[in-house]
A and B are shown apart, each in its own frame.
Chain A
Amino acid sequence: GQQVMQIPQYQHVQEGEDFTTYCNSSTTLSNIQWYKQRPGGHPVFLIQLVKSGEVKKQKRLTFQFGEAKKNSSLHITATQTTDVGTYFCAGPSAGGTSYGKLTFGQGTILTVHP
């Protein structure tokens, strides 16, 4: 079945360092979404990428969608303690008949040391 893999599983950084998480799908995706879950919280939507090679920025966060639409990355420049949490990528499930039927990656847990 469809798989979405994310690496690394954990990332520990010093405040001010950069951070990147990578997402790879076993199938071509029509779009990819990214969510952030703060410790003890629930996932919150960050962004959706649709076009091949698309790059979108949200302040210090840069999101990329690969040319083949099978991989994506999230890069955070100069991390802050407010960036801690788990970052998930998610793509539409194969054969899905609902836009909310997503296959999630395992997530990358980011910790930031002040």
Chain B
Amino acid sequence: DGGITQSPKYLFRKEGQNVTLSCEQNLNHDAMYWYRQDPGQGLRLIYYSQIVNDFQKGDIAEGYSVSREKKESFPLTVTSAQKNPTAFYLCASLSGDTSGANVLTFGAGSRLTVL
């Protein structure tokens, strides 16, 4: 089945530790995105990549880093510099549908809790 796989689904981290969230897609999509979701706040863009070996900061990139060495993979590292990392992290890729819309397809998400 084609789709986006995020792992781990749940992650607990101690303060001061870096953690990397995995995002893999087999949809052959060029553009990939990381969004963060907090209760009552919708989704906010962290980083995005439109092509291999290139990525851009989103609205809340501070304390995060990414890489895009392969088309299929777009891992997100939450560093110790991120002041409030507890959140639900969603990876997405972009495709077009039959109506011509540019559609974000999301993975199942990774829920990070900092203890």
Report A90 CB to chain B, min CB distance, Å. 8
Most central of A35, A42, A93, A98 by chain B CB within 10 Å: A42
Q: Which of B40, B43, B45, B104 contacts A45 (CB 8 A)?
A: B104
A52 at the interface (CB under 8 A from B): no
Cβ of A102 and Cβ of B31 under 8 Å apart?
no
In the complex, the number of residue pairs spanning A and B with C-beta atoms less than 8 Å apart equals 69
Please, which residue of chain A has its CB at the minimum distance from the CB of B106? A42
The number of residues on chain B lying at the interface, defined by a beta carbon within 8 Å of a beta carbon of chain A, is 29
**0/1 interface trace, chain B 51-63, chain A, CB 8 Å (1 if under):** 0000010110000
* A90: B residues at CB distance < 8 A: 43
Interface class of chain B by DSSP: strand
A39 at the interface (CB under 8 A from B): no
The number of residues on chain A lying at the interface, defined by a beta carbon within 8 Å of a beta carbon of chain B, is 26
Q: Which of A44, A97, A104 contacts B43 (CB 8 A)?
A: A104
Report B69 CB to chain A, min CB distance, Å. 19
B27 at the interface (CB under 8 A from A): no
Q: Which of A35, A43, A101, A106 contacts B58 (CB 8 A)?
A: A101
What 3 A-B pairs have minimum CB-CB distances, sorted nearest first? A48-B101, A99-B102, A104-B42
